[in-house]
Structure 1
Amino acid sequence: MNEKLLEERILCAIDKNMGRGRVSVVIDLPSYSIQINNETPYSAASLIKVPILLEGFRQAEQGKIDLNDTVMVPKEERVGGAGVLKTLSENISLTVEDLLTLMIIVSDNTATNLIIDRLGSDAINSLCNSIALKHTKLSRKLMDFQAMKQGYDNVTSASDIITCLRILDQGQIFSEQSREKMLYILHQQQLDTKLPAKMDKDKVYIANKTGELPGVEHDCAIVRCEEKTAYIAVLIDELGENESARDTIAEIGKLLYDYLTKPDL
């Protein structure tokens, strides 16, 4: 399958599966880029956790935080939605690195909010500006329904997420050790029902981060097969129900998998 055919099949999958909803897709391949509505801003949902991860490691490299410092997880700071910390016993503390890990691999909202408090919203947004993200902004903490009612939302775009993945994987603003740690965290992802759902993980390396809200389904990933690396982001919103979007993202992931592993298909 060549790159043009991959793009045509992705467009067919979107037309076949999506009765409604806005869809953005960016796939950066070694010598080709697929861009479908790539600059469209979306509610970020949990994709906002990717630039938060970058800022966490940036501050660690700058000596502003220590990844081994322990952070208490007060009962009153625990929030609902995704994650495990809300269900654990009262007297627990975790390292900053543990919180960053939980923020990614189970999309823990409590861990995310504790990390936002530790890093600072202004610093996270400064990171977004410094790496030239055009549409990404952190405007509220996770599960802050009061802020949501007042119109505050975290936003991003498929192109911005691809920029984050490239910097996480290759960016010279981070040491090799930091990049390896961030990749390791993403590779431990437990939420694998979208882009990785139809991939054979014995044949490809995948490091991904999902996002979802009612009417919103996102996933982004770094996918490697032998010497080939692909960066992919799929963002979908304005949904009446979420299942069709999850199926669409899984199908796009399978098409990318086939392109990487079966070039003669």
Structure 2
Amino acid sequence: MAFAGRLRSSLPLVSKILRSDSLSAANGSAPQRALLYPIFSDSEFSRNYATATGKKEEKKVKLPLALFGGAGNYASALYLASVKANVLDKVESELVDLIEASKKSPLFSQFAKDLSVTKDVRLKAINDICAQAKLSDITKNFLVVATENGRLRDIDTITKKFLELTMAHRGEVTAIVTTVIPLPPEEERELKETLQEIIGQGKKVKLEQKINTSILGGLVVEFGEKVFDMSIRTRARQMERFLRAPIDIGNL
């Protein structure tokens, strides 16, 4: 069974665990911890996670870009651990599949964001999901630590930050193109080639299309820090401002 299929089939475990009378009422011993390292605060997480598994560091890894905030710290630590273990692509794929599968499970989303669910219940659910989905040790350790620190609700944001790092690692630059209807293949290719010429050699453009009928027509391209707005809506607003501007008769 493919990874995504295994992951989707494991999500019902959350429902079973949440409905377990023994767990919901438990005040006794916690389930066995999946990790043998301590819980880190957000400020400590970034510098400690990469060596938390107890393995000796064999090489130093530099981040391809600097991220800030709690989500940035978690994503950076996960990146460092993944690169050192030579499983960056695998961890990226697992996180993306996890996010996609969780979007199809309202129960999992509620479980991740509901802070009233006890830590023991969260850990039990995450460990069971990781086991059934056969996640790599790095991904499993990350999810468990995030769960212990109450950061499971931020998994979407952390994953987005992590993807920023993996893309920078591969020299990829995302260009978001918003149109009313999907671009025809030929126009998509021409736009991608144009953007590639702008950034030059050494980097690769990754085109992401979005549909937004409110722009009326044309397109909007978000590329790095630049925004090229060539939508009909924006042109109409510009024309409206021009028509409403006072006329200087003396210059006629």
For the aligned pair, the TM-score class normalised by the smaller chain equals under 0.3
Relative contact order higher in (CA < 8 Å, ≥ 6 apart):
1
Q: Give TM-score scaled by structure 1 length.
A: 0.22
- The structure in which a higher percent of residues are helix is 2
> Bigger radius of gyration, 1 or 2?
2
